[in-house]
Chain A
């Protein structure tokens, strides 16, 4: 048996994945356990879960790997500062303490995180190799062209290559600072959304606008070559060296400032969203055409953050040269954990590729499972009222009746999805035919912006009844956007209000899932990957004649998707959902008046008790250290400087701190927090002065000298007709290096 643990962490959205003999046993994101959205901390709980699922201990893991090369990434960061210094100090000041912390000490952090039980070496592969592996090795293809498009990894921002059998080779790349992902993120920032988190909101906003800035963007911001490579005009961006994504020139170009937090969405934001969407689609399509010409492959595997742009994916499938396009559902950095494990098993350890039908991703249901075993007892313990269904067809009939009545149902059953999409096991389901469904879900249940559309989940064999979709394709991971069929569209009154209020227009027979441009983010359901949803859709279709439902993730705004049954109950109670399905237990909102919420919270906090105990231990240690430090200081003041009064005051302070610290954790925490608060100005000043000295006395002169010798990342170009450069060959030993 060979067990490989893949880890991604310390950037955004950390995760762990476990492969045993080449089979994906478990994969989960840390945020689902800690309940902190996009948690970047070491994935302690995700690893614990993966090992539990496989019945292994950390000492039984054969190989552990990280999804990128930290020293190579640090190299990119330093080279950037060298090219921009003396500009860029604020970014340097922010970045350096982080890099001096866990980021450059990954081996130490990982070994510590595994409790010192793992004794092997840690492997590292490049960020885009990880992405490529996740797409190719999880796909149903024996041979495929591969394209990864991301913000940035180490140096590469976009890569292309080919996969065949168990071999995967990325051959060409575009290097930082030129990045399609960061260009999209720059617009995300300018339109008032969060970078690295809200790019999908910008995509959802695009159909409201007119792509009137496409030419301006292509003239001023990005030069697109015929082979799909591109070069950015860095004058308009600050992301390489600053804390903002765009520069003053960018704002002047569009005649406005970036939208501030809480300010209403402007017409400009809508038009910019539409324009950058068009530009992104053009780049992706050109790169895909070039890749197809070069490889002659019929299939394409796509990964990286930009691959989550399902509008662009749909466009690529419709207008692109490839017969099949497979997109890794965990395409972002969380998926890196899974990617690395797959890459290591197939490409480094050279095992035969086992193509699994329909694909190796297994519906992406790779996370913790909610099972019936003790569910009734646990629900009883919090006084929840429920109805248990032993017969699945009865349950499906019951649920479809309620859906047909317009009820909103939260579903938490089976194994949780890995990746950003809820695909039916941690979902909210609703009737797509009702015009009020979208409004109710957005404003009363998810508490989020109302302009974003919901996705339809539809039976695979009925998809072409409602959508312009070739049935030879599938979209099981909700990563393709298509158009609703003309036959089911409805005329919209031209007198209706413009702007975001258009969301309430009835545009088709399925208004809740039809976006303002008649598009829909499609999830097709088959019996193999998703038997529960397949059966439920059949039951709903029998009842209503409609083989589709609304499917949206089971969470509220800015919270991770629910993970455990207790998370699901807590989320159910704070929203306006009508019913909750927990495995085969159905809870009705109107029956839950007696739920013991304190007990529920205590159950949710149970996994963190160990961490809380550790935190208490550290606080105690901290307070003791303060007492000793102040005590020693008083001795020094007395003997060295002969100052009696200050010495007595310091001694008194030391004794007082110790005395207060004797009375419980709360007091000790108070001491720790206040000590940190008082010393914060010193801390900031010292850090600022030290790092400023380093930046202006070390980094800046070296940077000047290098630029005099013509070394500047801003001026690095491949040639006048392309920005693709060849990747560097690496030997086997390099997988054990952090560079």
Chain B
């Protein structure tokens, strides 16, 4: 398949999908998902369920990282 054909197919695909989805302005007014929701959406979209345990661990690490600049830092920062 040539690049021009692919580009045309892509554009047609985009037109179809844009017809079924909201416009950019509408999407821009919606709420951003939280990090946990986004991880779940990512796993569902890509069907990569085997990454679930690693992403759970990552969430725990993120939780620890969020606490680092806070006043409780000396209690927990030795973890990182």
Residues of A within 8 A of B (CB): 63, 71, 74-75, 78, 82, 96-97, 99-101, 104-105, 107, 120-122, 145, 160-162, 167, 169, 171-172, 291, 294-296, 348-350, 618, 621-622, 624-626, 629, 675, 679, 682-683, 686-687, 690, 694, 698-699, 702, 705-706, 726-727, 729, 731-733, 735-739
Report whether B38 and A698 are in contact in the complex, using a CB–CB cutoff of 8 Å: no
Other-chain residue from B1, B39, B45, B74 in contact with A622 (beta carbon distance below 8 A): B74
- Given A349-B24, A732-B22, the answer on whether A706 and B80 have CB atoms closer than 8 Å is no
Most chain B C-beta atoms within 10 Å of own C-beta, residue among A100, A295, A675, A735: A100
Partner of B11 from the list A169, A348, A679 (CB cut-off 8 Å) is A169
How many Å from the CB of B46 to the closest CB on chain A?
7
Measured CB to CB, the closest approach of chain B to A133, in angstroms, equals 15
**Looking at chain A's contact residues, is the secondary structure mostly helix, strand, loop, or mixed?**
helix
A676 to chain B, nearest CB (A): 8
25 contacts between A and B (CB under 8 A): A74-B58, A96-B58, A97-B80, A99-B58, A99-B61, A100-B62, A107-B32, A121-B28, A121-B30, A121-B31, A121-B32, A162-B3, A162-B7, A295-B3, A624-B71, A625-B72, A625-B73, A625-B75, A679-B78, A683-B79, A706-B50, A732-B17, A733-B22, A735-B27, A739-B45
Interface residues on B, range: 35 or more
Q: In the complex, A473 Cα to B70 Cα: how many Å? A: 57
Q: A294-B4, A731-B17, A732-B22 are in contact. Are A171 and B38 (CB under 8 A)?
A: no
**A78-B51, A162-B3 are known contacts. Are A736 and B32 too (CB-CB below 8 A)?**
yes
- Chain B: minimal CB distance from A537 (Å): 41
Q: Which of A75, A107, A162 touches B51 (beta carbons < 8 Å)?
A: A75
In contact, B3 and A294 (Cβ under 8 angstroms): yes
User: Which of chain A's residues have a CB closer than 8 A to the CB of B39?
Assistant: 71
Query: Given A169-B7, A171-B10 in contact, is the A348-B80 Cβ separation under 8 Å?
Result: no
Q: Which residues of B contact A295 (CB under 8 A)?
A: 2-4
Majority secondary structure of chain B interface residues (helix, strand, loop or mixed): helix
CB-based contact B24/A348 at 8 Å = yes
Selected from B24, B45, B48, B80, the residue in CB contact (under 8 A) with A683 is: B80
Q: Are the CB atoms of B6 and A726 closer together than 8 Å?
A: yes
Verify A104–B75 contact, CB threshold 8 A. Answer: no
Question: Quick check: A729 and B17 within 8 Å, CB to CB?
Answer: yes
Q: A100-B61, A737-B38, A738-B38 are in contact. Are A622 and B51 (CB under 8 A)?
A: no
For B3, give its contact among A105, A172, A682, A690 (CB under 8 Å). Answer: A172
Question: How distant is B18 from chain A, measured CB to nearest CB, in Å?
Answer: 6
Contact A687 B80, beta carbon cutoff 8 Å: yes
